[in-house]
Structures are given as C-alpha cells and as structure tokens.
Amino acid sequence: MAYELAPTTPPEGRLLTDKFQPSEIAGMFAHLRQRGTRYGMVFNDAERASNSRLSLLAGEFAKDAGRYDQFHENVFKAFFTDLKDIGQIDELLEIAANSGLDAEELRQALAENRHQERLDTAKAEAGRLGINAIPAFLFENDQVISGALPPEVFRNTIKEIHDGTFTKPLM
C-alpha cells in the first residue's frame, strides 16, 4: 500500500536539518549503509527529504502498467543512491522511462491526478491500522509491525501469530 510518510513536506522538499540534528542525520545514514551493504544497497548522505506524493502517484501508474517492481527499484536507487529529488516531475519522468513506462502518459496521469483516490484510500486504511511509520508490515488479524526493525522481531511476531499469543501491534 502506498503511504505518504510526511504529507506536509513542501513540493521543493525540506532540508533534513529542519527536522534532525546533524549527528542524528549522520547516524541515520551510517545505519542505513550498514544494514544495506549486505543486500547490495547503496545509501549516500542526503541533505534533503523529497515530497513523495508524485512518486507514490507514479507508483500507482506503474502498477497499472505492470512495471511497479522495476519502477520502485529505480525510484529507491534514484533517491537513496543518486540523491535525486523524487518529488520533481522531470526526475520521475526520467525514472519512468528507464523503467519501461511511457513518460508522457505518466505526465498526463499526474496532471489529471488520476491515482489520488488510491492514495486517499491507503491513507485512511493506514490510519485505521495505526500505521505511522515505514516500512509497515500487515499480518493476519490486522497485526502491524511498523518501522525498520531487526529480523528477530519479525521471526518472533510470526511465531506469536502462529501460536495465537500476539496481542498487540508493535509501533
């Protein structure tokens, strides 16, 4: 489900230092690099957070075109590795084209706000489930794990769900 983590981020993005101390930012990227290296993911130090709304809408467009996985992978790399502003339409159109999507058709879909209803529905569902962080994982009986947590948390949660002892969402 598409989830807009910070919908109040202005269209031009926001400096990370507007929300975090420099030491927190450095620690966050060091942690991402450490966790991502074993999976071949490259996280570079960013200065800005993008407004993700257009990229989420573009992701819905990519789903309809059967190219979501490639698009999602390319948006991830563009943002975290190449430090592109995924809130800017020209960046998204380039990513779309590199993902096998029709960039002009995407431009039209974004201009028409064609997939906004899906984002609104996802936002309402996330609110119902108490999701306020990403990533978020939904298990049976609406049990949710939110945030980037160690694998042991997932193992324990799955075991507790299986045993019928998991009683509260972790958030």
Task: Please write the tens of the pLDDT for every residue from 16-29.
Answer: 999 999 999 999 99
- Rounded to the nearest 5°, which phi and psi values hold at 127? -60, -45
The answer to whether residue 4 is domain-embedded is: no
At 42, the pLDDT band (50, 70, 90 cuts) reads very high
CA distances in angstroms from 137 to 20, 126, 149, 158, listed in the order given: 26, 11, 11, 11
In a shared domain, residues 154 and 111: no
**How high is the pLDDT of residue 168?**
58
| Rg (alpha carbons) of the chain, rounded to whole number | 17
Name the CA dihedral angle for 154, 128, 115, 47, rounded to a multiple of 10 degrees. Answer: -60
**How high is the pLDDT of residue 141?**
72
In a shared domain, residues 18 and 51: yes
Residue written as token pair 């130090």: 45
In a shared domain, residues 58 and 94: yes
The answer to whether residue 2 is domain-embedded is: no
The answer to whether residue 148 is domain-embedded is: yes
What is the pTM assigned to this prediction?
Answer: 0.84
The residues with which 49 forms a beta bridge, in sequence order, are: 14
Residues of the domain holding 66 = 14-118
- Total of domains in the chain: 2
The answer to whether residue 170 is domain-embedded is: yes
Q: Any idea what the CATH number is for the domain that residue 73 is in? A: 3.40.30.10
Name the average pLDDT for the chain. Answer: 90
In a shared domain, residues 136 and 110: no
Contacts of 97 (CB under 8 A, 6+ apart): 103
In a shared domain, residues 24 and 101: yes
In a shared domain, residues 83 and 153: no
